[in-house]
């Protein structure tokens, strides 16, 4: 991948996470990426929807790898999920409640507006769910249960991020971590 293309995608992810799809403009992406404006149109000739879709895809790959690495720190699935969510809470707090995921804001803003971005968001959520599903399967959960719980874990984390950012307090994420540990230990 070219350096300018990568810079554009990274800047887009950061801006989307901080201010959402509608709050992020192409000129701002160019400014934040330090890439020549021509690069934006060269690598993303279909415009903002293309950049956003590809940024969401890239972000989901990076995030799913972080999930897998975080979950690998404990052999117990319940403990691994708990500890991972506490790390998410720490990152949200350290960012001044600006971090979480570009996926959250973009999914909400574009769910009914752009089929292309909606598809990228659906695939991204599927990628995140797969990372948790793998851990749950390795922990002995049967396939149907692991499927449902992986969706529940992702939905809980997303909700916890939204509430933590809104309240400027990570207690919602800590509660999610505690309650999921209890649920996954049953």
Is pTM, for the whole model, over 0.85? yes
pLDDT band at 48 (very low <50, low <70, confident <90, very high): very high
Separation of alpha carbons 121 and 104, rounded Å: 9
DSSP letters for 49-80: HHHHHHHHHHHHHHHHHHHHHHHTT-SSHHHH
Q: Is the pLDDT of residue 42 over 90?
A: yes
Q: Mind listing the domains of the chain with CATH numbers?
A: 49-185 (1.10.357.10)
Instruction: Express each pLDDT in 101-114 by its tens digit.
Output: 889 889 999 988 99
Residue 61 in tokens = 């790959």
pLDDT of amino acid 111: 84
DSSP for residue 97 = S
Q: What is the mean pLDDT of residues 41-57?
A: 96
Nearest to 120 by CA among 51, 67, 26: 51
Separation of alpha carbons 16 and 11, rounded Å: 9
CA dist list (Å): 128 to 2, 7, 180: 26, 23, 16
């Amino acid at each position: 991948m070219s350096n300018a293309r990568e810079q554009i995608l990274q800047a887009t992810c950061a801006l989307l996470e901080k201010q959402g799809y509608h709050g992020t403009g192409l000129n701002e992406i160019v400014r934040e990426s330090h890439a020549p404006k021509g690069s934006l149109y060269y690598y993303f000739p279909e415009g903002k929807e293309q950049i956003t879709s590809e940024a969401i895809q890239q972000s989901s790959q990076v995030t799913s790898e972080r999930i897998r690495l975080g979950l690998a720190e404990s052999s117990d699935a319940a403990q691994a999920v708990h500890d991972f969510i506490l790390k998410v809470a720490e990152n949200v707090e350290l960012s001044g409640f600006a971090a979480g995921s570009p996926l959250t804001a973009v999914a909400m803003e574009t769910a009914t507006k752009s089929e292309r971005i909606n598809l990228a968001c659906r695939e991204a959520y599927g990628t995140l769910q797969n990372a948790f599903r793998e851990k749950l399967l390795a922990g002995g959960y049967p396939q149907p249960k692991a499927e449902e719980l992986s969706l529940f874990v992702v939905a809980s984390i997303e909700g916890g991020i939204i509430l933590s950012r809104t309240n400027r307090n990570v207690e919602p994420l800590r509660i999610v971590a505690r309650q999921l540990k209890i649920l996954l230990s049953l």
